Each structure stands twice: as C-alpha cells, then as structure tokens.
Amino acid sequence: MNTNPFFAAWSTPFGAPPFDLIAPAHFTPAFEEGMRRHLAEIDAIVASPASFAGTIEALERAGRLLSQVSGVFFNLNASQGSEALREIDLALAPRLAEHGMKVALNPGLFERVAELHAARHTLGLDAVQMRLLERSHLGFVRSGAALGPAERARMSAISQRLATLHTQFGQNVLHDEKEWFLPLASADLAGLPGFVVEGARQAAFERGLDGHVVTLSRSLIDPFMTFSPRRDLRKIAHAAWIARGAHDGAHDNRVLIPEILALRAERARLLGYANFADFRLSDMMAATPANVAALTSEVWQAGLRQSSVERDRLQAEALADGLNGKLEAWDWAYYAERVRRVAYAIDATEVKPYFVFENVQRAAFDTAGKLFGLSFEARPDLPSYHPDVVTYDVQHEGAHIGLFISDPFARADKRSGAWMSSYRDQETLDGPVTPIIVNNNNFAKSSPALLSFDDAETLFHEFGHALHGLLSQVRYPSQSGTSVRRDFVEFPSQILEHWIAAPEVLREYARHHETNAPIPDALIDKLLAARNFNQGFGTVEYTSSAILDMELHTHPDPANLDIAAFEQEVLARLGMPSEIGPRHRPAHFQHLFAGGGYAAGYYSYLWAEVLDADGFEAFEAKGDIFDPEIAAKLRVILESGDTRDPMELYRAFRGDVPKTTALMRNRGLVQFSPSHPCRFAGMGA
C-alpha cells in the first residue's frame, strides 16, 4: 500500500498527477480505499446533528480520495487507453455505481438534508449556500432518496446495471474504431491533398503497417470523403463509419440500447415522471420536451428546405462529372467541396496550409489573454502520460490559477471525438484549490500538423470549456466550473468559436506553414463568405440526431424496440433526405449511451447555439470583439459555475433573454424561417 502513489501526498508542482509513478495496478486498491473512506465520512455525517456546516459542507469535503483517483483513472482511460485500463473500467463500473447509490440513498443522510431543506429560510444562509442546499436536496430526491425501501433498492440496481451497459457501449465503439482500416494502394492516393496522404501514412505507421491507411478517426475519414475521387472507396469508408457499434457478435451495441432505454424509463417512472425525457428536462433550462420540440422543429424545417437547395446543386455537379444516377450519402462531401470551389473560388487545400496546430493553439491562448488577462507557459518538467501531451501553467496577473493539459492528436487507443475534462476542480472551501483541466482532440498527426477550419473551431470550442473550468471562482466543489445544467454548459465553448473566425484573429495567427506569410485578406473574405455554405446539410445532420434522442427517450415501450427499424421510422416521418444521414446513428451515439450525460439532452448544442449567437452580438454591437466591458460580463458567467441560475447569468451578461434570430442568420437559414424574438424565452425561469 505504501508504494501506491494515491496513498501519499503528491510533491509535484501544483499538485499535478505523478503520471510517471502511476500504474494500472494502483487503481483498484485506490478505488477500494477511496470508497471505504467515503462511506466512513458519510457515517460520521449521519451520526452528527443536522447543520449546514456539519451536513452540507461536510458532504462537499467527503470523498476526496475517491475523487482524486476517479479524476486520474477516467481521464487516462479515455485519453491513453489500454486493455488493462478497459478491464478495470468494466469491472469497477457497477461497484462504483453501487457505491454512489449507497451515498445517495442513505436514509439517515437524506433525513438530515431534508431537515435542513425544510428549515432553509431560518438558517441565515447566503445566496450561494441556499442554492447549494436546494440543489443538494434536489439531487438526493432525483436519485430516489425519498422513495420507499423497495424502490430505493431498485434504483440502486438500475444504476449498477446502467454503469456496466454504458461502459460496454463505449468500449464497443472504441473496438470498431480501433480495428477497422482501409488500406490505400499508391493509385488510391490520386487526388488526395498532401496533408491527407501524410495523415494516412502516419496512421499506418502507428498501426505498425507500411504504406497508407484510412481509419475511422474523424480527422482522417472526413478529408478522405471530401477529396477522394474514388467513389468505390468512399462508399466503403462511409459504410464502416455508420456501422460502428452495429456488427453482430460480442461488440454489438444494438442489443444494449433497448435495455439502457428501458432502465432509464423505469427509473423515471419510479420518480413519478411519464418518461425519461420528462425527468431529465425537468432540471434543464428547456424544462419540457415540448419546448425542445418547438426549438428543433423550427430549425429542422428551415434546415430541410435549405438542404434541398444544396442537394439539387450537388446533384447537378455530380451529373456534370459523369455520375449516372442519384447522389448518395458517400458523395455529398466530395461534391460539396467541388461546388464550394466554384461558388466561392476556394477549397480546403488552399486554406489548410494556413492553419498550423501550434499557431491555432497560440491564438486560443492569446484570445484568453485579451479577453480575460490569462497567460499560458509550457511546463515540460511536469510528468506526462504521453509524448504528444503538453502541460501549461495558467496565470492571471502573475499568479498561478490552474494547469491546462493539451492532448491534441488521434491515437489508436484514444476515445474518438473531442472533449474537455478535469483532473481536479477549483474550490476554496478549505483554502484555494486550483483546477487541472485537459483538452482532448483527435487531429491527424503529421509534420507539420495542419488543421482544417472546422478543426480550428473545434480546438476553440474545447478551449471554451477549458476556460469555464480554469476561470471558476467558487467556494464549493459541486458548484465548480462546468458543473452547470447540461443545456447551459455548451454556451462558453460555443461562444468562443466566434473568435477564430474573426478577421483580426485570422490575420495574426493563420500563417502559411512554409513561408509564415499571413493569410491574405482575399482568402479570409472567401473563407468567411463560404461559412454558410452547406449549412442545410449540417443543420439536418445534427438536428435529426437531437430529434431521434428525444424520440428514443419518450418512447412508451423502449425495451421492445428494434433500434434499426425505429430509427428508419423516425427518419421517414421527418422526411430525412436519403443523401444525408444523422450525425450519430444509435449504435455509436456515445453522447447518449456511453454515459448518461447527454441522454434526452443532445439538443443542448442547439440551445447553446441560440445563446452563443445572440451573445456574441454583444461584442459585435460594440465594434470590438475584445471589448473589456463585455468581456468582464462574460467572465462572470465563467467564474460563477452553478452558484446562480443560468438564465439569470445570461440575462445579466446580455441584458435580455436570447433570440433565435442570430442563430438563423449564422446558419444562413433566415430566408427559410420567420424572424422573431425567441419564443423559448420562458426557458430557465
């Protein structure tokens, strides 16, 4: 036990995890000890009289070892991955869920919390403490603590089973993404830009292969689908992409989804809700499925009409190119790029040489500096878990405020997609604790590493989440950083995307990788003019997934769903164009089924886009995207975490409720949708 780094104080600068000392064998005993200590702390709280300090604040202190171990394990499992870590994850998932429910359903603990909640207006609490007490009480109720013994036992069993199913689902997707690749012969490279060829070479090298391969990393398969003139190979790649998690056998997610949905529905019914969506949305800004449907329907109809215009244009281009027959889903990206070149005199190969990863990363850092006074200094002396990873000391006015870990490149054992997470959250309950934040991306690794403009926006998106964690200024851990309602958490990330598209930022940081020459103004103009191109496709692709999410989580009998048939029925009812598929098919929809975070909440990106498009107009109205007054108001949102209601925070920042007008304009859908104030203004009230 003495050699386990989790059982000793870390002497690393800023309390950074000693990755060089941590091995897979350390995790299980550390988790077990963390759970034992946590339960002992809970028993001590239950044995004490109810008081805010002795109950609510004591709960905030409880489980620190377990939180530390969890922070390291789950981040390493996603970012680094190994068979050993995946085995631990699968074995521990139900045990950790059982532990969590022992705490959440402890009758004595809930009795004390409920007693305080009933007397809350007599306790002399400040506004932050009042919100913490009310949210803590609500959390216990939503976990089932107010139910009878039999119902509490069932809630615990459901939680354990879901933990296993979520873990299996994510591991199945990773298996398919890791195992599949498409070898490319020399002749197959014809027509591919140099950065795609280099990415395919690097992907082969990482797999111990000679030559070139296309993998299911989005940063590689997307440009392949965009530039490869080989329709046969595009069809093969597209089929593999949409089939992730949908193969007969041990890694088939289609058999897991009905059980996941049925267990969620049962949990909701135990708590008095008609379905899981009703349960989930009752504690979201959107409040009800009807509000979500109103938003998605408006955007869907506008996107559908725009996509039909785009389809006709692409079909004409395909016919002119000699395609005999109908445009298919594996043709869209290829012909969209051809049309873009003609319509805007621009193509991705012209733009990409100006987006060097290191420069885009520096642009994000400098944007944070101009808006919020932050600086970032690389610390190669700190332990790291992979050579690609760089850790930065984040400072404000010369004082350390946190660590930022950048993990930018795709790897075979790394989870797909892009995400922000934390190894440690900010708090001041017993003295200052600074955050340790990580950004993961899956950019194709090459020399130099060149990003698409979409990649650059993704980097800024995840960095917006990172700033939400780094700038947090709260007392209590459970209110820290991104611990906000799911349909508000995407606002800081999405509003930051606007800065990488600002001409003044592009002129400074978009520099040619060979000459260091700044991107020409004429190319900036063409790049920005083309941003609304293909937005019908993007809107339909995303919104169909959001609608499918709500349909799945409001279904009256999910246990007996044939997932493939149900998906096709919903898409047919929507009028989904056959040339466009949902962004996420159910069998690889990790937002929904590799965890519960976005279940009945995938619409959150769209709702946050209403906020971010409306919110960025505040800077535009000032004529200065770095206006200090507006930046200070935005910083309040990032600092506040969950200490205030999100709509209250937004109104204080913007001065009014959000409107959909800016979103429709940004997506180029104004002509397809009526212009009016946001009819969702009641959200978050």
Catalytic residue numbers read 462
| Residue 646 and residue 285 in contact, taking contact as beta carbons nearer than 8 Å | yes
Query: SS3 helix, strand, coil % of the chain, rounded to 5?
Result: 60, 10, 30
Nearest to 370 by CA among 652, 625, 637: 625
User: What torsion do the CA atoms of 531, 588, 461, 475 make, to the nearest 10 degrees?
Assistant: 150
CA 308 to centroid of chain Cα atoms: 29
Could you give the CA distance from residue 375 to residue 184 in angstroms, rounded to a whole number?
43
Q: Are 444 and 220 in contact (CB under 8 A)?
A: yes
Nearest alpha carbon to residue 619 among 627, 608, 611? 627
Range 624-633, long-range pairs (CB < 8 A, 24+ positions): 625/498, 625/499, 625/502, 625/504, 625/505, 626/370, 626/371, 631/370, 631/371, 631/372
Q: Which two tokens stand for residue 505?
A: 């930022």
Structure tokens at 564: 């493939």
Laid out side by side, the sheet with 374-378 consists of: 374-378, 390-396, 399-409, 436-443, 419-424
CA distances in angstroms from 567 to 254, 332, 345, 549, listed in the order given:
11, 21, 38, 10
Q: In this structure, how many other beta carbons lie within 10 angstroms of the beta carbon of residue 214? A: 28
Indicate the Cα dihedral angle 64, 279, 642, 365, nearest 10°: 90
Cα separation, 326 vs 403, whole angstroms: 52
- Report residue 88 as tokens: 């631990």
User: CA 242, CA 14: separation in Å to the nearest integer?
Assistant: 43
Q: Which residues contact 399 (CB under 8 A, 6 or more apart)?
A: none
- The alpha carbon of residue 428 and the mean position of all alpha carbons in its chain are separated, in whole angstroms, by 26
Torsion angle defined by CA atoms of residues 259, 262, 263 and 267, in that order, rounded to the nearest 10 degrees: 180
Smallest Cα–Cα separation from 596: which of 174, 259, 166?
A: 166
Contact 304, 296 (CB under 8 A): no
Cα distance between residue 658 and residue 459, in whole Å: 25
24 three-state secondary structure = helix
Q: Where are the alpha helices (DSSP H) in 416-562?
A: 453-470, 486-500, 503-509, 521-529, 535-553
Which letter does DSSP use for residue 443 in this model? E
> Cα angle at 554 between 553 and 556, to 5 degrees?
115
50 close to 115: Cβ distance less than 8 angstroms: yes
- CA distances to 13, 55, 325, 347, 579 from 312, rounded to whole Å, are 59, 63, 13, 20, 11
Structure tokens, 313: 């244009």
Residue keyed to tokens 């532990």:
99
Region label for 356, one of left (φ > 0), alpha (ψ between -120 and 50) or beta (otherwise):
beta
Residue carrying structure tokens 């009641």: 682
Q: Spell out where 370-518 has E strands.
A: 374-378, 390-396, 399-409, 419-424, 436-443
